[in-house]
Chains A and B, each alone.
Chain A
């Protein structure tokens, strides 16, 4: 893959919490055009990687978007450079409507003074994102009463309207039905055509169906990297998944297409 303006290149990323090494020298890269997966057992350091890239936790090493170093910048500036994220637990603004949620997300490039005016009409980018995520009919619904899956889509829609170049999604299909997972996977495929998409997931079936390239983390280190087939056949990966409570998922990894 060639490095473009929208590429995320992480090199030797380290994150420590009071001496505990949560991420110990992780490198990977993600580019527009691929749906990039980051998997690993509980506590492997996946979320911590995203936290460090987005400025929530302090990390050392390097994380570059195009030519720009991200580590060390405050979180909101990293967002303004084009890195958007979701959280493991869906976090939308429950008391605001879908439109208001999206409008806030679309607003980061607005001038401060224009914030003092009320909204008139709907930003075209918001309409596009609503159509893309299938939420058009929920425009006026308070986000708090959306279904779980719809909340996740709203979060992705928020990343689209904020025009993120890189989308870091932490377990975007957790708690979704099979149909919703399929819809989400297809959505991510479309989004990835023009943006860098990095997905953290536990759901091996979902990974197998939608990943273009996978990095496996274990205890804060990269265990394996490659296509889905390569990763599945890596004996070290099988060992890690067999040796932990996540053992059943190795069956899912190994299972043939339905």
Chain B
């Protein structure tokens, strides 16, 4: 039993993969497959937030920025692909049929460039931003507000450059996805499967990071940054790695969001979208492996079912849920699992069961020894 414990998360990921990749496609209608794909995208971003915030202590309130980088990279590519070689996107023709394609659009005609941009743009932006912030030791609320402000800024920038980016209307009406016709159900299923598979990959990455020495160091940095510095590490570098990984995941999430949902607008990357991403992570449990992903999926589901049938009520339900979880389960719903298994495991694992359990009891962290 004890030897099994370190591998439980892996088994969990396996089960989730089975459900998303095999069970869901065979039982769900295309409509729900598409919705599930959308939740998977939010879950991918959430997995990254779980790493940066839950384990690294950085309250990343502006993941919309990186979500947006990936989403707009993909959307520009799909827009150009739909327009056909050498032609302008339709919304640009409507403004001025004779204007040339803006220079920053041009490289997105290439498949390879687009894929590289989705992966590397967030690396570049997050590295520069993170380096500046972490080296000058910006943290806590200042860090949160700063990242949030960037998300707002990017959303405003896109809104105000309607001729270059489509503005508030966003980019939509994508016909092709790297050569595949998007209206075809088989191709839609394929896009969903890619998103679901990417979610599984992201979970695997965070699982490995969590059990690695880096993962221990990240938690140590979260809890006592100065102490880590006096063990000979530069905490800025440790945080930077987690921040960049989270940014890449958000970008991948944005990129897959575009072909699945079929439209991207500044609302999807602005302040409230960024906060909604955080909300899912907080509900699910920021420091656990599955909490962020499942929380984000639950919020996504609530958003698209309740949120569309009863929009005014939904926002109150969400708010209430948030308050209750913050009050009674500060480490999210997944800490319930930790508490329950803790009751089963703890008496044997630690003889000193009388001392208060550490507040942080997500199962995959009580951890790992041979």
Contact = CB atoms under 8 A, between A and B. Distances in A.
A168 B347 CA distance: 38
Given A94-B358, A97-B367, A97-B369, A158 B231 contact: yes
Contacts of A92: 227
Contacts of B211: 118
Contact of A91 (B212, B227, B234): B227
Nearest to A114: B213
Given A117-B213, A118-B208, A118-B211, 4 more contacts: A74-B234, A76-B229, A115-B214, A145-B352
A54 to B, nearest CB: 7
Interface string A116-127: 111111000000
A96 interface: yes
B149 interface: no
Interface in B315-341: none
Interface residues of A, number: 42
A123 B217 CA distance: 17
B213 A91 contact: no
Q: Which 10 A-B pairs have the closest CB atoms?
A: A108-B232, A79-B232, A115-B214, A145-B355, A93-B220, A118-B211, A115-B213, A91-B227, A76-B234, A80-B232
A107 B220 CA distance: 13
Nearest to B369: A140
Of B209, B230, B233, B360, the most chain A CB neighbours within 10 A belong to B230
B230 A108 contact: no
A118 B209 CA distance: 8
B233 A76 contact: yes
Interface in B215-238: 216-217, 219-220, 223-224, 226-234
Interface string B154-182: 00000000000000000000000000000
Contacts of A96: 216, 219-220
A104 B224 CA distance: 13
A87 B225 CA distance: 13
A144 interface: yes
Interface string A58-77: 00000000000000001110
Contacts of A144: 358
A101 to B, nearest CB: 8
A79 B231 CA distance: 6
A57 interface: no
A145 B230 CA distance: 22
B350 interface: yes
B339 to A, nearest CB: 16
A145 B358 CA distance: 8
Contacts of B355: 145
A131 to B, nearest CB: 18
A142 interface: yes
B365 interface: yes
A120 B370 contact: yes
Contacts of A80: 232
Contacts of A91: 224, 226-227
Interface of A: 54, 56, 74-76, 79-80, 84-85, 87, 91-97, 99-101, 103-105, 107-108, 110, 114-121, 139-142, 144-145, 158, 162
A84 B230 CA distance: 7
A119 B214 CA distance: 10
B9 to A, nearest CB: 12
B51 to A, nearest CB: 13
7 contacts: A84-B230, A94-B358, A107-B233, A139-B369, A140-B350, A141-B350, A141-B352
Contacts of B365: 95
A54 B212 CA distance: 28
Contact of B217 (A79, A97, A104): A104
B24 interface: no
A85 B229 CA distance: 11
A130 to B, nearest CB: 14
Given A91-B224, A104-B231, A120-B370, A115 B217 contact: yes
Interface in B222-259: 223-224, 226-234
Interface string B343-370: 0000000101001001010000101111
A99 B226 CA distance: 20
A119 B13 CA distance: 21
Of A74, A96, A140, the most chain B CB neighbours within 10 A belong to A96
Contact of B223 (A56, A95, A140): A95
Given A80-B232, A96-B220, A116 B209 contact: yes
A253 B355 CA distance: 38
B229 A104 contact: no
Given A93-B220, A95-B219, A116 B214 contact: yes
A130 B312 CA distance: 60
Contacts of A76: 229-230, 232-234
A107 B358 contact: no
Contacts of B227: 87, 91-93
Nearest to B352: A145
A99 B217 CA distance: 13
Given A84-B230, A95-B360, A141-B352, A107 B213 contact: yes
A101 B220 CA distance: 8
